[in-house]
Structure 1
């Protein structure tokens, strides 16, 4: 992935972490900074199915989940799968579709299945939605519902590249799009097996208590009118397990929880009007809560 995305190692690491934690990723930033390229490169790095759904105002929920079509020859209805049936699904510019279409992803993201006409269809494993969205100030965008945002395990921003990285990008892409150079380095089965093993990483009761203390801090903070949900606690624990695994440990320490806490929690929080006027950033508030939360005693 780093072949085509210059100077963004932390964003790439977060994307892989969310994949191994069996979660979904929201990438929010202005157009043209590499949101779609990151999703495409991750899809090509895995030897599995990758689909892209371009969200537009006229996109229908059935375009996402699928629809039952009457077959004239068999005289029966057949289910035609929608774009969500893949290992990696790119929801490009998700906030350009109507809230109704956005909500079509809710069941798939939460339960890895799709229900159409009274029938449930299981999705492949691993299953990951990578959604890109432009800031809500951009024309033609709809804000994501809170329920939808809460189903994303983490949110990242790409940011403008450093000058040297942008120069290197121009040099490397002189001959064309380098996305074709990304080759699979793991199969879908290997990723799924790795995720299963990571679930066995030990999380001590004191670490679970630490995670809940951080999440509770978002619910009681005076600058927040909506704190993080219990789902956020679960997501934070799963991400910490992956961070521990990538560090070569089979147990979680507080630093593993802290590493991606901003990315896991900030997008779920709603600052108060006063905090917004004061330009208080949700990520900074999360950092404050972590600093104020007592570390568990090492046993």
Structure 2
């Protein structure tokens, strides 16, 4: 399922959810945005479904990378309890997601999503949702795969697999993730920059020169080996950190121009170019959008 197909499927799925107030045990929110608070680890068995349940650390994109397959090219992770302004900016600047883009229109679970990750690999897409376990009603017949219960959402090609986090995506991509979790397929080892980062929003991407398939360009497509972009609330505004491994050519000129334009500090050492500095709330979406694809 490529990005265009994902967008169409998501649109159809959301339309169906918004027509019916309940669907296969999932519920809509009442009214406007729901204020969420950060919650800790839970017992995945509280979802009340059979089969194996996902149980994985999910405190940053570095944790999420361990669940993605070897050919991952782009992933982000966000703590959705950190800042509604950051959620808004991320929804405007990043690829379409159900959990982030439609967080105010529909809630897939009885409790809000606290943290979310989205990844792109082999032109396939999945999401991970960290939400408090609650009994989930299932009307459709689940598919057992590697001992996990894949729960179809109505007549769409979207499936969920319960756990902490919950896996959400099209059938082929969900099966790929379950292969990784079961140890039957390797996880990615191409990323080195995001580990030990603690930003509320964390974005990791490989550069276009890293991808073997010349017909498939990562969504950022920069001239570098890898990039990391992080944003966190800071002193009434936000603090942005961008790192690029082996930055060069057109992308290098673009990053230096952006650092100057947005009055951010820039430095280079050991093959890593780093940009950092404060961003005012009213400029957050614009600045994030500029650095997400230099």
Q: TM-score, normalised by structure 2?
A: 0.29
| Structure ranking higher in strand proportion | 2
- Greater relative contact order (CA < 8 Å, ≥ 6 in sequence): 1
| Structure ranking higher in helix proportion | 1
Q: TM-score, normalised by structure 1?
A: 0.29
Task: Mark the structure with the bigger radius of gyration.
Answer: 1
